[in-house]
Chain A
């Protein structure tokens, strides 16, 4: 069970003076249950790349295999792929349209022509997962706050019950608490349902905390594909392509410059705490 991206290249407006290569010969494989972070400077092709994974964009060259079958082949039913590979766009709240939150979340499952009880089950579960209280389910989505709208929109994709979940900057513009809530819910979905998650993000802290594997894009190409710990050792290169490293990792690097050597690359505040305590015991 996997999604395999093979030598994918995509040109916007091919054949016009505006043509632009947005994705350049990218290959990688996503296995079920993986939690992958996708980072890159603005305009590096992240959004373009992920729209290929459920067949919304047809590659200029290269292909995408879902469990070994080419999703762009004539006989593939793309709608089935789109159910299995859920995609949450940047600012998904701009796509809400129904009279009530509940009806909007129903849109996906209804398109799958499921029986009503199944639709209800999925909708309620999805709304619980994103943490929307029952009191707002029958409200108009346009009455909600920005963060609640975002949750409703994410629930709309979760209700399709995908096996792969791709989120394009799901936490942009949310407060730290909302961000942590959504990301830890997604993490627990991965843990309980075995969902594979691809998280597009500009926050180094978020990817360092949640993902097991980090893909770095630069100018449409794949630059790194490794564990966050490994990727964040390339400090200078990351900075040169317009990215950074988590603040706590940077603090660790600065400490190193002044002769405080901690045993490894630090990714989170908790790791730093533990490392310091351990280090302290050694010195005591």
Chain B
């Protein structure tokens, strides 16, 4: 059951997308997300889908894996789409019992749904193709200018990478503890809410203890290896932009320019309307 959580999961395939500098991927993901909110037309969405589709293709991550991330937000997605469809005022298309569906509502719902799906796929693609360590390295490097403002960039990045590293460990630990308590007849599935909450105690107590124990061990191990924070620390792998990273930035800029240009194009329905009149 715990294995279905794909958020933050890395899928190794050694593709060109995997090899890109993490900074490129972080910046691209952020830009992509911002751009999604600027798209207002069908052509724009078509362009965004085409772009994301090509990146997915290049990443060699199976589509099945990417779509798995969507399953978790299916309910939220449906809820948003339906609410938007029903609540938007405008030109009435359909009347069903107490519901009225408007043309604007359908558009609105469609756009929001598409936006959400693209957003989720885009950001999960980043984590699927970038290891957590690379990710925090990238973030640290990108935030380096903030150091001048006395923001503890290195410590934040270190905490993030440790937290990310601990997620799978704690999931595994939870799995183990649950099994051990189940072997002693524990039941996590039946009973009322209060009983179920109570049934969590035999999991939570050992889990917290183990998290603290591990944290303590990690701190000792880091100190034993003379970890002193940022000052004077060098890295084994310096992030360096390569040719492919510059190309990727170029592609991103082109995509952004095109997408913004679509805002000023007439939309397909408008074109059709003008043709018909």
- Most chain A beta carbons < 10 A, residue from B13, B65, B205: B205
B91 located at the interface, meaning its Cβ lies under 8 Å from any Cβ of chain A in the complex: no
Q: By the criterion CB–CB under 8 Å, are B206 and A87 in contact? A: no
Complex: chain B residue closest to A142, CB-CB? B209
Q: By the criterion CB–CB under 8 Å, are B201 and A82 in contact? A: no
Q: How far, in angstroms, from A142 to B206 measured CA to CA in the complex?
A: 11
A86 located at the interface, meaning its Cβ lies under 8 Å from any Cβ of chain B in the complex: yes
Q: By the criterion CB–CB under 8 Å, are B202 and A17 in contact? A: no
Complex: chain A residue closest to B203, CB-CB? A97
Residues 116-145 of chain A: 1 if any B CB is under 8 Å from the residue's CB, otherwise 0?
Answer: 000000000000000000000000001000
Determine the chain B residues whose CB is within 8 A of the CB of A261 once the complex forms: none
- Pick from B73-81, B145-153, B174-182, B255-263 the stretch touching chain A: B174-182
* Interchain nearest-CB distance for B110 vs A (Å): 32
B96 located at the interface, meaning its Cβ lies under 8 Å from any Cβ of chain A in the complex: no
Q: By the criterion CB–CB under 8 Å, are B176 and A17 in contact? A: no
* Interchain nearest-CB distance for A71 vs B (Å): 14
A246 located at the interface, meaning its Cβ lies under 8 Å from any Cβ of chain B in the complex: no
Residues 1-33 of chain A: 1 if any B CB is under 8 Å from the residue's CB, otherwise 0?
Answer: 000000000000100110000000000000000
Q: By the criterion CB–CB under 8 Å, are B183 and A111 in contact? A: no
Q: By the criterion CB–CB under 8 Å, are B183 and A86 in contact? A: yes
Complex: chain B residue closest to A80, CB-CB? B185
Determine the chain A residues whose CB is within 8 A of the CB of B206 once the complex forms: 94-97
Determine the chain A residues whose CB is within 8 A of the CB of B242 once the complex forms: none
Residues 68-103 of chain B: 1 if any A CB is under 8 Å from the residue's CB, otherwise 0?
Answer: 000000000000000000000000000000000000
Q: By the criterion CB–CB under 8 Å, are B185 and A56 in contact? A: no
* Interchain nearest-CB distance for B133 vs A (Å): 17
Q: How far, in angstroms, from A111 to B180 measured CA to CA in the complex?
A: 13
Determine the chain B residues whose CB is within 8 A of the CB of A142 once the complex forms: 209
Q: How far, in angstroms, from A112 to B183 measured CA to CA in the complex?
A: 12
B11 located at the interface, meaning its Cβ lies under 8 Å from any Cβ of chain A in the complex: yes
* Interchain nearest-CB distance for A115 vs B (Å): 16
Residues 160-185 of chain B: 1 if any A CB is under 8 Å from the residue's CB, otherwise 0?
Answer: 00000000000000001101111111
* Interchain nearest-CB distance for A159 vs B (Å): 9
Determine the chain B residues whose CB is within 8 A of the CB of A79 once the complex forms: 185, 187
Q: How far, in angstroms, from A157 to B90 measured CA to CA in the complex?
A: 67
Residues 90-101 of chain A: 1 if any B CB is under 8 Å from the residue's CB, otherwise 0?
Answer: 001011110000
Q: By the criterion CB–CB under 8 Å, are A111 and B12 in contact? A: no
Contacting A89 at CB < 8 Å: which of B11, B13, B183?
B183
Q: How far, in angstroms, from A86 to B183 measured CA to CA in the complex?
A: 7
Contacting A95 at CB < 8 Å: which of B11, B12, B180, B185?
B180
Q: By the criterion CB–CB under 8 Å, are B202 and A82 in contact? A: no
B225 located at the interface, meaning its Cβ lies under 8 Å from any Cβ of chain A in the complex: no
Determine the chain B residues whose CB is within 8 A of the CB of A157 once the complex forms: 183-184
Determine the chain A residues whose CB is within 8 A of the CB of B185 once the complex forms: 79, 82-83, 107-108, 111-112, 160
Determine the chain B residues whose CB is within 8 A of the CB of A51 once the complex forms: 179
Determine the chain A residues whose CB is within 8 A of the CB of B65 once the complex forms: 16
Complex: chain A residue closest to B62, CB-CB? A17
Q: How far, in angstroms, from A89 to B185 measured CA to CA in the complex?
A: 14
Q: How far, in angstroms, from A97 to B11 measured CA to CA in the complex?
A: 36
Complex: chain A residue closest to B213, CB-CB? A94
A252 located at the interface, meaning its Cβ lies under 8 Å from any Cβ of chain B in the complex: no
Q: By the criterion CB–CB under 8 Å, are B177 and A54 in contact? A: no
A156 located at the interface, meaning its Cβ lies under 8 Å from any Cβ of chain B in the complex: yes
Determine the chain B residues whose CB is within 8 A of the CB of A94 once the complex forms: 177, 206, 209-210
* Interchain nearest-CB distance for A219 vs B (Å): 22
Complex: chain A residue closest to B9, CB-CB? A16
Complex: chain A residue closest to B201, CB-CB? A97
Determine the chain A residues whose CB is within 8 A of the CB of B209 once the complex forms: 94, 142
* Interchain nearest-CB distance for B131 vs A (Å): 14
A17-B13, A94-B177, A97-B205 known; A107 and B183 CB under 8 Å?
A: no
Q: How far, in angstroms, from A93 to B166 measured CA to CA in the complex?
A: 21
Q: How far, in angstroms, from A112 to B185 measured CA to CA in the complex?
A: 7
Contacting A111 at CB < 8 Å: which of B176, B179, B184?
B184
8 A Cβ contacts from B176-219 to A: 176-177, 179-187, 201-202, 205-206, 209-210
Beyond contacts A79-B187, A92-B180: 12 other A-B pairs, Cβ-Cβ < 8 A, are A79-B185, A86-B183, A87-B183, A89-B183, A94-B209, A95-B181, A97-B205, A107-B184, A107-B185, A107-B202, A111-B187, A160-B185
Question: What is the interface of chain A, defined by CB distance below 8 A to chain B?
Answer: 13, 16-17, 51, 54, 56, 79, 82-83, 86-87, 89, 92, 94-97, 107-108, 111-112, 142, 156-157, 160
3 tightest Cβ-Cβ pairs between the two chains A and B? A111-B185, A97-B205, A108-B184
Question: What is the interface of chain B, defined by CB distance below 8 A to chain A?
Answer: 3, 11-13, 65, 176-177, 179-187, 201-202, 205-206, 209-210
7 cross-chain CB contacts under 8 A: A13-B3, A17-B11, A51-B179, A56-B182, A82-B185, A95-B202, A107-B185
